[in-house]
Chains A and B, each alone.
Chain A
Amino acid sequence: MTTAEFLSLIKSRGATIFAPTSATEITVATTNLQNIRAAMLQPFMLDLYKHCSGITLGSACIFGPTEIQRGTKYPMPSIEKINHDMIGNKNLFGKTVFGRNDLFWFAFDVNGNCLMLDNLTLSVLRKYDDPYRAMMDCLIVGKI
Chain B
Amino acid sequence: MQLNEHSAIERLSALGLDDMPVIEFTPKRCPLNPDWFKKYCELRREFLSSLSDSLEEIAFMNLPQNEFMGLIMGQSLPDNLSIRFRIPLLWGGELKIENMFMCMTFPHSFNLDKFIIEQSDAKTIFLPNPERKVYLTTHTGGGGAGGNATSDRLSQSAFNFMSGRGNE
Contact = CB atoms under 8 A, between A and B. Distances in A.
Contact of B105 (A59, A143, A144): A59
Contact of B107 (A61, A70, A74, A120): A74
A58 interface: yes
A82 to B, nearest CB: 8
A10 to B, nearest CB: 14
B120 A56 contact: no
Contacts of B84: 102
Interface string A73-92: 11111000000011001010
A24 interface: no
Contacts of A89: 117
A119 interface: yes
Given A74-B107, A76-B106, A59 B83 contact: yes
B162 interface: no
A39 B146 CA distance: 46
Interface in B87-113: 88, 90-91, 104-107, 109-110, 113
Contacts of A144: 40-41, 44
A85 B106 contact: no
B116 interface: yes
A51 to B, nearest CB: 20
Closest 10 CB pairs of A and B: A121-B120, A59-B82, A74-B106, A144-B41, A59-B105, A73-B80, A102-B82, A119-B113, A56-B79, A58-B77
Interface in A110-125: 118-122
B117 A120 contact: yes
A95 to B, nearest CB: 13
Interface string B12-42: 0000000000000001000000000000110
A20 B27 CA distance: 42
B118 to A, nearest CB: 8
A122 B120 contact: yes
B132 interface: no
B156 interface: no
B165 to A, nearest CB: 23
A74 B104 contact: yes
Contacts of B77: 58-59, 143
Contact of A102 (B27, B62, B104, B109): B109
